[in-house]
Amino acid sequence: MAEFEIGGMTFKGGKMMVMLTALSTLGGAAWAGFEFYADYMDMKEIVQNIDTDAIAARNLQIEQKLDDAIEYTRDIKTGLRDDILSIEKQADRAEDKVRTMETEVRDMIDKASERFETKRDSMKADSEQDMEDLEDRLEKKLQRALDNPLSD
């Protein structure tokens, strides 16, 4: 069986395997610590090199653009509201005109109907009177002709 000696201690068999495992674990942990430290130093350098003034200036630009966009949106909203109110007023005026014109047209139709009825009644009365006059004249002529058949 193999054995080895470290610092005056002799290891053989299972103890040797435990010792090798422990040493390899310690070596791996040391290597991982070194890599972590190297990454930490790189990250520290990156963080130290960050230009906070440039970031702050960019944030101010973004905030200004957002404020401008909000103001522009408000202007659009106000303009749309004004347009809608204007359209509503125009629609109300058009409705009022239509109602007025409808009333005027109905009045005109009623007056025309009255005039037509009056004219028809007048024409009917005139034609009846004409018929009566014609009938009276014919009766008179007929009576004269009957009274004196030889005169004409």
> pLDDT digits over 62-74, tens only?
999 999 999 999 9
- Measured CA to CA, the distance from residue 21 to residue 30 in angstroms comes to 14
Scan for tokens 């190297």, then name that residue.
38
What is the pLDDT, as a whole number, of residue 101?
Answer: 96
The answer to the question of residue 77 being in a domain is: no
> Could you give the number of structural domains in the chain?
1
* Domain that includes residue 8, residue range: 1-50
pLDDT of residue 67: 95
Residue 23 covered by a domain:
yes
- pLDDT tens digits, one per residue of 71-116: 999 999 999 999 999 999 999 999 999 999 999 999 999 999 999 9
Is residue 116 a part of any domain in this protein?
A: no
Q: Give me the pLDDT at residue 104, please.
A: 95
* Whether pLDDT at 123 is above 60: yes
In a domain, 11, yes or no: yes
Task: State the CB neighbour count (10 A cutoff) for residue 70.
Answer: 10
The answer to whether residues 17 and 3 touch, using CB atoms and an 8 Å cutoff, is no
Instruction: Give whole-number Cα distances, 125 to 66, 118, 136, 140, in Å.
Output: 87, 10, 16, 22
**3-class SS at 2?**
coil
Within-domain flag for 147: no
Q: Is residue 132 assigned to a domain?
A: no
Is 5 a domain residue?
Answer: yes
* Contacting residues for 2 by C-beta, under 8 A, at least 6 apart: 12, 16
CA distance 97 to 103: 10
Q: pLDDT tens, 12-38?
A: 777 777 877 888 999 999 999 998 888
The pLDDT of residue 152 is above 60:
no
